[in-house]
A and B are shown apart, each in its own frame.
Chain A
Amino acid sequence: MSELLVMRDLHVAYRTGEGRLPAVRGVDLTVHEGEVVGVAGESGCGKSTLVSTVLRLQPKNARVEGEVVVLGEDVRTMRWGDLRALRWAGASIVFQGALHSLNPVHRIGRQIAEPIQVHEPDLPEDAVRRRVDDLLDQVGLSASRSRSYPHQLSGGQKQRVMIAMALACRPKLIVADEPTTALDVMVQAQILDLLRDLVHDLDVGLLIISHDLSVLADVCDRVLVMYAGRVVEAGRADEVFSDPLHPYSAALSGAFPRVGDPAARYAPAGLAGDPPDPRELPQGCSFAPRCPRAVDRCLEAEPPLVEVRPGRPVACIRVGEP
């Protein structure tokens, strides 16, 4: 089976005191074995909601429509016991803010062992310990680290521990939500190298969420750019980054300048305004109020995602126009 994750026309809306809040509005996404797919977008674009649906971790007030198929089974209709088995062993998630999600009072070896013991209760203790040592080795930490407490580790080391935990039950699919945010450039490079090696060696599928398109361009095969709950552009990662077709992708790509590019010197590129409130989406294209290329036609209807080149869907009616 080569498709590890398939989302089809996924919609997620939250019921809130102030009415219905649509967070994800019709997303299609596929992750194959051995493939790294990235989702780019800023706070509030729905990317973390998207992640939560992969293992049915969305909050109770969320209403999910469409399909979320993980390893061939629809997570939405799966029985509780099957879902439990799927978590960690079939697919695992490295959550955003991982640096704070380790338990401060337990040694890290014990924390990595926990999902293993839950999923394989019959495994003898020394086998669990060996697995933990192997996992630490796999993420570039020495086995002696299993006796450390989280506060004894640096940010980069904690992130490695989180990745070791995600690998603990040998999942086929790993989802990483902002895996390098808050890490230094050098540590970020180390973590990205590690993720790349793991995908290559273990043939897992990896879905990475980030607001930094340059990071995604570096590690992903394909990326999807999300804005206000929808995919506005998708394609090969390097192409979307170096030759973005949607004005929003262009803004994300330009936000991280190429060092040495004279055009970026004393000219930080930004985008005026904030993303729209999902409860009060603007008429027409939801990006239009911030779009430097917007014209009156953009306010008429939300532009559909149209394949403008093979494998390159873009939701903008002005693609190709001067």
Chain B
Amino acid sequence: MTAAPDPGAAFIEARGVTVEFTTRTGHAARALDGVDLAVPHGEVLAIVGESGSGKTTLARTLMGLERPTSGEVLFEGRPLDYSLRGLKSYRSRVQMVLQDAAGSLNPRQTVYESVAEGIRLHGRARTDEQGRTETELVAAALAEAGLRPPERLFLRYPHELSGGQKQRVLIAGALALRPELVLADEPVSSLDASIRGEILALLLELRRELGMGVVVVTHDLGLAWNIADRIAVMYLGRVVECGTTEEVLTAPRHPYTRALLSVVPEIDQLEPVVLRGEVPDPSRIPSGCRFHPRCPALADGTADRAGVADACHHRPLEILPATGEHRAACHLV
């Protein structure tokens, strides 16, 4: 554990990560079924997909909250250390902002206490380079999260805050530790439209000013277009398309990505392709291409004309590589 971090390595990386849960009936459900994904320093990466695609499990696994059944998570090129000490030091550099801001704040804790908790846990007031006190650190974090003047909010309780303010307090709690990466699970989905833009702008500003990387988990493609450098589209435990945001959203290759894009209400130039049903149960992953039962390109004969229909039904696709150019896991590509 004393080797210097590999300078060429991604900041964090998932390699062949599989996460299996056992259902009550004893079946194994693969929430993640082989994921390669690299997050370089300072990048804004969006992981998009429907409920059940495995995007939240992937974020939790990157955070060290789930351990891979097989495969590994690398931190600066080395396997993540799952010991208590290892995780504590990891989480001082990688923080998570949970989905439900209202539910993630302790209703009996003041804003000050909520933000100070992490600072105390990691002894940040003792180790601060500028010798700032705990109070100064809390105030700085709140101000960075756009809550100004911070002192006015110190003694407020969550119920006295608006939705946007609660989300900012959560972000401030994560920021107080000066993380190099923040994982945000649906950071704006429960917020009003007018507040949404402000929170997203805040994430971009923190990247610009602090070089902080962001992994944002979302089903909202507009959000990805707003802030992400790269996108990984997930379906049933796999990344099915990845590339830069421009590549994936303006020239999508996977029929699933195209369908997702076509139902975004703002896009009127695309004929909406409303997929039937929902993401299948991960304890019964379809054979061949996992998307084939819902694939519009298979249903309308495109795959058949291209001579791949048989492969769609029977031949599994390779796992997409962690980095590199625009790729899609589809027999038609």
Contact = CB atoms under 8 A, between A and B. Distances in A.
Interface of A: 42-43, 154-156, 182, 184-190, 193, 211-215, 217-218, 251-252, 254-261, 264-272, 274, 290
Contact of B201 (A184, A270, A274): A270
B221 A215 contact: no
A270 B225 contact: no
Interface residues of B, number: 42
B249 A266 contact: no
Contact of A193 (B193, B196, B221, B274): B274
Contact of B226 (A155, A189, A217, A268): A268
Contact of B278 (A187, A258, A266, A270): A187
Given A213-B193, A257-B266, A270-B194, A187 B50 contact: yes
A156 B278 contact: yes
Contacts of A154: 51, 278
Contacts of B206: none
Contacts of B219: 184-185
Task: Kindly list the 10 A-B residue pairs having the minimum CB-CB distance in the complex, ordered from nearest.
Answer: A270-B197, A268-B200, A42-B192, A270-B198, A189-B263, A271-B194, A255-B193, A218-B265, A268-B226, A214-B265
Interface of B: 50-51, 162-165, 189, 192-201, 204, 219-223, 225-227, 245, 249-250, 259-261, 263-267, 272, 274-276, 278
Given A42-B192, A154-B278, A251-B194, 4 more contacts: A189-B263, A212-B193, A258-B267, A269-B197
A56 B131 CA distance: 60
10 contacts: A43-B162, A156-B278, A185-B263, A186-B50, A188-B263, A215-B265, A256-B266, A259-B250, A264-B226, A272-B198
A264 B249 CA distance: 13
A252 B194 contact: yes
A259 B137 CA distance: 38
Given A186-B260, A266-B227, A256 B194 contact: no
B204 A274 contact: no
Contacts of A189: 263, 272, 274
A182 B266 CA distance: 18
A18 to B, nearest CB: 13
A268 B202 CA distance: 10
A260 B250 contact: yes
B265 A256 contact: yes
B129 to A, nearest CB: 30
Contact of A259 (B201, B204, B267): B267
A257 B225 contact: yes
